């Protein structure tokens, strides 16, 4: 993420008796100047729901359409030294829950915290000469969602499969560890979290353990170095003796002309110890062919069996075309036109197919 920022410079006082020490030749001391940077992320869209139709307050059948601001972040990042960094990200989003007269905020755009953590960099000790090893404490990205979205890039259209279906969240409160393997062979990201996501406080004594391992089999091969194999495990519980587990296995591929991914999900949910556990499974694949002049395609398919002991599947097709405006660094701006079609098959209660057409816009700096 590119950022506009300012640097805070500390003051130093010379000690009369202190001898000046000249760094050894060829040694460049790390930059420990405190710094703070400010950026923003905006998701906005115009969406038309072609099917099913809705009824207005007078009972007229109409085609739902709306201008939306689905997400707005203010990103405040910085460092105290080269070993200590931080991030604070307030999030502005639509309140969709019902509200009482005393707390009437239903429908409003509300301010909440999405990320707020301190990061202790461990590269001096674990990764001399390279970066990517750290410990984080606080409200932070979770191992799977953050990794996948860094490759997918289309969160402004909608979240990835596992988050959209409610199995995972992009943020939770906890402590995590990240390590990059040497020679670009891969990484591991693991941590303990409350398990209630960033939208709720901790409700009991249960904690979730998450781990993602990523292997890059051929890091030196010009084309296949973009291939990575991924495995993820989330061991959690709603309550004591009430499991909430997820396992994912898949692969991602990155190239100048295409990004792609496939992943398969297994999940178990038992909301209380007295209820029967529900097993789910599903998969998702997506493809984003790219050009050298900013035009990209988006093709995605999600398939879910919400309960493997019952008949019923949910399927989603997404197709679109996007233009990514040219910028320097990590600043990004994009326009995407897409069709999002979700169908429901063999459920006891019939649900209509939902078809939406939308123009999405992203600004990130």
Backbone angles phi, psi at 146, to 5 degrees: -65, -40
68 has a pLDDT exceeding 60? yes
User: pTM (2 decimals)?
Assistant: 0.87
Kindly state whether residue 143 falls inside one of the protein's structural domains. yes
What's phi and psi for 285, nearest 5 deg?
A: -135, 150
pLDDT in tens, 189-206: 999 999 999 988 888 899
For residue 303, pLDDT beyond 90: yes
DSSP 8-state code for residue 323:
E
Mean pLDDT of 196-217: 93
Q: How confident is the model at residue 100 (pLDDT cuts 50, 70, 90)?
A: very low
Domain range holding 161? 33-364
3-state secondary structure of 103: helix
Query: Rounded to whole angstroms, what are the CA distances from 245 to 175, 196, 271, 365?
Result: 19, 13, 11, 35
Is residue 2 in some structural domain? no
Asked if residue 236 belongs to a domain, the reply is yes
Give residue 104's pLDDT: 58
Residue 22 included in any domain: no
Backbone angles phi, psi at 308, to 5 degrees: -70, -15
pLDDT band at 269; cut points 50, 70, 90: very high
244: alpha, beta or left, given left = phi > 0 and alpha = psi -120 to 50?
A: beta
Q: Where are the beta strands (DSSP E) in the chain?
A: 4-7, 35-55, 61-81, 84-94, 109-121, 134-141, 171-180, 186-193, 208-215, 227-239, 242-254, 258-269, 278-289, 295-305, 313-324, 332-345, 354-364
Phi/psi of residue 310, each to 5°? -130, 160
Q: How confident is the model at residue 22 (pLDDT cuts 50, 70, 90)?
A: low
Residue of 218 and 5 predicted with greater confidence: 218
Q: Please report the pLDDT score of residue 97 as a whole number.
A: 61
Nearest one of 146, 148, 163 to 288, comparing CA atoms: 148
Q: What CATH number does the domain containing 261 carry?
A: 2.40.160.10
Position 25 in a domain: no
Tell me the pLDDT tens digit for each residue of 135-176. 999 999 999 999 999 999 999 999 999 999 999 999 999 999
Number of domains in the chain: 1
Res. 1 pLDDT band, cuts 50 70 90: very low
* Most confident residue range from 24-28, 269-273, 299-303, 345-349: 299-303
Determine, yes or no, domain membership for 1: no
Question: Residue 330 domain-assigned?
Answer: yes
Residue 8 lies in a domain: no
Spatial distance between the Cα atoms of 156 and 43, rounded to a whole number of angstroms = 5
Cα 240 off chain centre by: 28
* 137 or 3, which is more confident: 137
Mean pLDDT of 109-118: 90
């Amino acid at each position: 993420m590119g950022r506009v920022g300012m640097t805070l410079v500390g003051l130093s006082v010379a000690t009369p008796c202190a001898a000046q020490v000249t760094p050894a030749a060829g040694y460049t001391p790390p930059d420990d100047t405190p710094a703070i940077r400010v950026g923003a992320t905006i998701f906005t869209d115009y969406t038309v729901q072609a099917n099913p139709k809705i009824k207005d307050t007078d009972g007229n059948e109409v085609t739902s359409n709306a201008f939306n601001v689905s997400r707005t972040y203010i990103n405040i990042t910085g460092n105290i030294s080269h070993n200590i960094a931080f991030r604070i990200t307030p999030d502005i989003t639509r309140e969709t829950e019902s509200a009482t007269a005393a707390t009437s905020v239903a429908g409003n755009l509300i301010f909440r915290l999405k990320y707020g953590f301190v990061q202790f960099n461990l590269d001096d000790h674990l990764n001399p000469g390279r970066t990517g090893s750290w410990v984080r404490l606080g409200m932070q990205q979770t191992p799977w969602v953050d990794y996948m979205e860094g490759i997918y890039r289309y969160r402004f259209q909608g979240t990835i499969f596992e988050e959209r279906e409610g199995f995972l969240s992009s943020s939770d409160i906890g402590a995590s560890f990240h390590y990059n393997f040497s020679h670009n062979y891969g990484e591991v990201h693991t941590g303990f979290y409350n398990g209630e996501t960033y939208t709720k406080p901790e409700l009991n004594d249960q904690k979730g353990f998450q781990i993602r391992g990523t292997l890059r089999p051929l890091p030196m091969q010009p084309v296949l170095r973009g291939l990575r194999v991924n495995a993820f495990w989330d061991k959690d519980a709603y309550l004591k003796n009430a499991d909430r587990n997820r396992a994912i296995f898949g692969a991602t591929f990155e190239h100048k002309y295409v990004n792609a991914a496939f992943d398969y999900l297994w999940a178990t949910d038992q909301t209380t110890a007295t209820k029967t556990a529900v097993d789910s499974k599903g998969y998702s694949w997506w493809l984003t062919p790219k050009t050298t002049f900013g035009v990209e395609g988006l093709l995605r398919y999600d398939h879910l069996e919400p309960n493997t002991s019952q008949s019923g599947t949910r399927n989603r097709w997404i197709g679109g075309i996007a233009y990514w405006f040219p910028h320097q660094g990590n600043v990004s701006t994009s326009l995407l036109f897409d069709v999002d079609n979700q169908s429901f098959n063999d459920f006891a209660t019939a649900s209509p197919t939902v078809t939406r057409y939308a123009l999405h816009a992203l600004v990130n700096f």
